[in-house]
């Protein structure tokens, strides 16, 4: 890396005091995990928090989980590249979550079934083979989906603190963060996750509000809008304009992913519904969370837009323009625009405040990783290993295995983050990898809950059809479908899932329908 690039990226207000603030916060999170270890006595407590989570705690921890640092980073990347047109994703997410809350679509039948995981519902409604296949696809897609979380989170810390973007700094930050999250998640399970997510929600909320107000005050509303208009034209405001980075197929794909899937089918969000004290609390939680689901997209996207304006339209950011937006085709390749927002924050925020916001972002990082680690490991234990075991599987053995799998997933996340070289935006990568699971799951859950004739064969076929979304990953797509975008492949896959469910259910009906048994303890 050239000396002028290093110097530009190291111009940050991050100080020793900021480092102390971050260290104290990380230590607090670790202590929480150790303190609640004694309450993880069985799998219901370990992965379901004894189903005793109230509405407001559920709302706070859902935001803590779903607004992870990777969420902040990929949305900032979208805002930096797409301008205000990217806000359509936030609008879709908020409206969809509100509709799920008002209707209880999918999440209420899941809570009524008394299950701990989504594949467990597959067995109650269909059969064990569907549960195992669903568990395998879910674990594969989910673990692949979070493969870049660690690297992207570490990139924020490197950018905000002025550490070197090359060499030892990025791997060192990745390893440190990973160890912390693994320890307190493996020790305390969902109880640890809920408590730390609540603390992270409070810290993160303060950081989001303060940083946003300061960005607006520094750059000015008129300057922000005028710069986006000058750079992007109508495409910077209208996602379906001719010069937009998005288009109709992308908007339709967002209705599926950022809308239905992110709140009603994605396991880390649904896991909160399964821990709620009643179905009424589930619906209320989702209705209120529609605000936070909008915010988790909107504010980071706005930060990305502000980073673009800072780099293009202010004297203080002029040294960054040739690094992120080189005008000369013969110049060095542009630095990843994922660094734009954290570098902007490192220069915008004064000492102490920068430490609080950095701690908030690390809070966001940890709140996502702990839930994801616990979710995927519990699926492997509960929905793949346990159903295939012929001998009884004790609660203690399940918890030990779940903890072991958490560490194995952690090792994968570290390796994948260091070596994967795909070129998709992070959000597009996550949407496509997640679709390997959720395209089939959406069809199976909707069909299982609301169509009496949905059969075991139809569900099995729908899960397989949904997994074809893997062809949308950039390295695979270049080989098998070079003429399609990831969004187009995803849309085709979700249509195929519903088609397979209907066709195979009609061709191969069940002799007698297996209904999901309601939880006798559920109100």
Closest CA to 74 of 421, 364, 338: 338
The mean-pLDDT minimum among 140-149, 151-160, 365-374, 438-447 falls in: 365-374
- Please tell me the predicted confidence (pLDDT) of residue 492: 93
Domain membership flag for residue 223 = yes
Task: Give yes or no for residue 504 having a pLDDT over 70.
Answer: yes
Domain assignment present for 110: yes
Report residue 297 as tokens.
């997209």
Average pLDDT, stretch 470-482? 86
More confident residue, 168 or 339: 339
pLDDT interval class at 125 (50, 70, 90): very high
Is the pLDDT score of 478 beyond 90?
Answer: no
Whether the pLDDT of residue 252 is over 50: the answer is: yes
DSSP state of 166: S
- Please say which residue of 392, 418, 444 terminates a domain: 418
- CA geometry: angle at 471 spanning 468 and 476, to 5°? 150
What pLDDT is attached to residue 344? 92
Residue 173, C-beta contacts closer than 8 angstroms, at least 6 positions apart = 154, 157, 158, 163
What own/partner pairs with CB < 8 Å and gap ≥ 24 does 42-45 have?
Answer: 42/395, 42/399, 43/116, 43/378, 43/381, 43/382, 43/395, 43/398, 43/399, 43/402, 44/116, 45/189, 45/190, 45/191
| Co-location of 424 and 496 in the same domain | yes
Those residues whose C-beta lies under 8 Å from the C-beta of residue 56, and which sit 6 or more positions away, are none
DSSP per-residue letters across 260-282: IIHHHT-HHHHHHHHHBS-HHHH
Residue 36 has what pLDDT? 53
Q: What distance in Å separates the CA atoms of residue 224 and residue 212, rounded to the nearest whole number? A: 13
Output 418 or 46, whichever has higher pLDDT. Answer: 418
What is the distance between the alpha carbons of residues 295 and 63, in angstroms, rounded to a whole number?
Answer: 9
Distance, first Cα to last Cα, the chain: 61
What pLDDT, on the 0 to 100 scale, is given for residue 523?
Answer: 37
In a domain, 10, yes or no: no
Share of the chain above pLDDT 70, in %: 81
Q: Are 150 and 369 in contact (CB under 8 A)?
A: yes
In a domain, residue 143? The reply is yes
Give the pLDDT confidence of 14-46 residue by residue, as tens digits: 888 988 988 887 777 667 656 655 554 444 444
Cβ neighbours, 10 Å, residue 94: 23
- N residues, the chain: 523
Instruction: Select from 218, 159, 143 the least CA-distant residue to 361.
Output: 159
The Cα 361–Cα 280 span in angstroms is 32
Look at residue 92 in the predicted model and tell me its pLDDT. 93
Return the percentage of the chain with pLDDT > 90, whole number.
31
My answer on whether 410 and 435 are in the same domain is: no
Residue 295: per-residue pLDDT: 84
Helix (H, G, I), strand (E, B) or coil at 53: strand
Tell me, yes or no, whether 519 lies in a domain. Answer: no
On whether the CB atoms of residues 277 and 50 are closer than 8 A, the answer is: no
pLDDT score at 49 = 42
Other CB atoms closer than 10 Å to residue 329's CB: what's the count? Answer: 5
Rounded alpha-carbon distances, angstroms, from residue 350 to 203, 344, 480: 17, 12, 49
pLDDT at position 126 is: 94
Query: Which of 159-168, 311-320, 377-386, 401-410 is predicted with the least confidence, judged by mean pLDDT?
Result: 159-168
What is the secondary structure of 159-216 as a DSSP string? HHHT--SSTTHHHHHHHHHHHHHHHHHHHHHHHHHHHHHHHHHHHHHHHHHHHHHHHH
Identify whether residues 265 and 358 lie together within a single domain: yes
> Given a cut of 50, is residue 312 above it in pLDDT?
yes
- pLDDT-derived band at 507 (thresholds 50, 70, 90) equals very high
pLDDT digits (tens, 9 = 90+) for 316-358: 888 888 888 887 665 566 788 888 999 999 999 889 888 888 8
**For residue 44, what pLDDT is reported?**
47
Main-chain dihedrals φ then ψ at residue 15, nearest 5 degrees = -120, 180
Of 38 and 508, the structure prediction assigns the larger pLDDT to 508
Q: Which domain holds residue 141?
A: 16-418
pLDDT reading at 78 higher than 70? yes
- Average pLDDT over every residue of 252-267: 84
Instruction: Please tell me whether residues 313 and 443 are part of one structural domain.
Output: no
Same domain, 270 and 228: yes
Asked if the model's pLDDT at residue 193 lies above 70, the reply is: no
Rg of the Cα trace of the chain?
23
Structure tokens at 422: 């795909």
Measured between alpha carbons, how far is 431 from 257 in angstroms, rounded to an integer? 7
Residues 446 and 358 in one domain: no
Phi, psi of 276 (to 5 degrees): -70, 155
Specify if 211 maps to a domain. Answer: yes
- What pLDDT shows up at residue 331? 58
pLDDT of residue 280: 85
**What is the per-residue pLDDT across 83-108, written as a single tens digit (0 to 9) for each?**
999 999 999 988 998 999 899 899 88
For residues 427 and 81, the answer to whether their CB atoms sit within 8 Å is no
Q: Are 388 and 438 members of one domain?
A: no
Lowest mean pLDDT among 140-144, 147-151, 511-515: 511-515
Per DSSP, the three-state class of 500 is helix
Q: Mean pLDDT across the stretch 57-84?
A: 75
Tokens representing residue 367 in the block: 């709140």
**What is the rounded average pLDDT of the residues 33-60?**
49
Instruction: Please say which residue of 418, 450, 472 terminates a domain.
Output: 418
Instruction: Pick the last residue of a domain from 387, 418, 449.
Output: 418
Answer yes or no: is 215 within a domain.
yes
Helices (H), 49-168: 55-66, 69-82, 87-103, 107-113, 118-125, 128-145, 149-161
User: Quick one: 28 and 58 in the same domain?
Assistant: yes
What gap in Å lies between CA 176 and CA 259, rounded to an integer? 34
Residue 166 has pLDDT above 70, yes or no: no
| Chain mean pLDDT for the chain | 81
Question: What pLDDT was estimated at residue 517?
Answer: 46
Top pLDDT among 501 and 385 is at: 501
pLDDT band at 136 (very low <50, low <70, confident <90, very high): very high
Pair (413, 470) in one structural domain = no
pLDDT at 180 over 80: no
Residues 292 and 440 both lie in one domain: no
Q: Are residues 217 and 288 in the same domain?
A: yes
CATH number of 242's domain: 1.20.1730.10
Same domain, 424 and 404: no
Q: Could you give the number of structural domains in the chain?
A: 2
Residue 317 tokens, joined: 């950011």
CA nearest 442: which of 499, 498, 500, 515? 498
How confident is residue 494, by pLDDT bands cut at 50, 70 and 90? very high
In a domain, 466, yes or no: yes
């Amino acid at each position: 890396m050239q000396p002028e690039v290093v110097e530009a990226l190291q111009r940050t207000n991050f100080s020793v005091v900021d480092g102390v603030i971050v260290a104290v916060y990380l230590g607090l999170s670790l202590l929480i995990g150790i303190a609640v270890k004694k309450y993880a006595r069985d799998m219901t407590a370990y992965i379901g928090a004894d189903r005793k989570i109230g509405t407001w705690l559920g709302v706070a921890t859902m935001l803590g989980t779903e607004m992870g640092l990777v969420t902040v980073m990929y949305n900032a990347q979208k805002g930096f590249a797409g301008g205000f047109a990217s806000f359509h994703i936030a609008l879709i997410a908020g409206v969809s979550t509100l509709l799920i809350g008002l209707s209880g679509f999918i999440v209420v039948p899941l809570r009524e079934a008394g299950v701990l995981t989504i594949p467990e519902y597959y067995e109650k409604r269909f059969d064990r083979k569907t549960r195992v296949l669903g568990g395998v696809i879910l674990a594969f897609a989910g673990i692949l989906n979070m493969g870049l979380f660690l690297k992207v989170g570490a990139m924020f810390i490197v950018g905000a603190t002025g550490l070197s973007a090359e060499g030892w700094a990025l791997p060192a930050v990745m390893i440190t963060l990973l160890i912390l999250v693994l320890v307190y998640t493996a020790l305390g399970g969902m109880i640890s996750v809920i408590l730390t997510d609540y603390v992270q929600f409070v810290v993160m909320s303060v950081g989001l509000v303060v940083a946003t107000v300061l960005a607006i005050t520094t750059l000015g509303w008129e300057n922000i809008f005028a710069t986006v208009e000058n750079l992007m034209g109508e495409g910077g405001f209208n996602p379906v304009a001719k010069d937009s980075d998005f288009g109709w197929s992308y908007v339709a794909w967002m209705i599926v992913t950022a809308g239905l899937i992110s709140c009603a089918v994605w396991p880390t969000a649904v896991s909160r519904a399964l821990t709620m004290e009643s179905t009424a609390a589930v619906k209320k939680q989702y209705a209120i969370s529609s605000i936070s689901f909008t915010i988790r997209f909107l504010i980071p996207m706005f930060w990305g837009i502000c980073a673009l304006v800072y780099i293009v339209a202010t004297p203080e950011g002029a040294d960054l323009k040739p690094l992120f937006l080189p005008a000369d085709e013969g110049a060095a390749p542009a630095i990843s625009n994922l660094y734009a927002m954290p570098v902007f924050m490192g220069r915008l925020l004064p000492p102490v405040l920068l430490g609080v916001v950095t701690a908030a972002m690390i809070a966001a990082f940890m709140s996502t990783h702990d839930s994801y680690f616990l979710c995927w490991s519990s699926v492997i234990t509960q929905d793949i290993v346990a159903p295939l075991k012929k001998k009884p599987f004790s609660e203690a053995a399940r918890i030990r295995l779940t903890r072991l799998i958490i560490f194995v997933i952690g090792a994968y996340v570290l390796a994948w983050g260091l070596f994967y070289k795909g070129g998709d935006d992070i959000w597009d990568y996550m949407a496509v990898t997640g679709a390997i699971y959720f395209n089939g799951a959406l069809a199976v859950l909707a069909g299982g809950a609301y169509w009496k004739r949905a059969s075991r064969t139809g569900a099995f076929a729908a899960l397989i059809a949904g997994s074809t979304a893997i062809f949308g990953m950039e390295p695979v797509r270049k080989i098998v479908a070079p003429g399609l975008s990831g969004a187009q492949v995803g849309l085709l896959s979700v249509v195929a899932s519903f088609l397979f469910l209907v066709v195979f259910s009609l061709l191969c009906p069940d002799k007698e329908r297996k209904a999901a048994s309601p939880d006798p303890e559920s109100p």
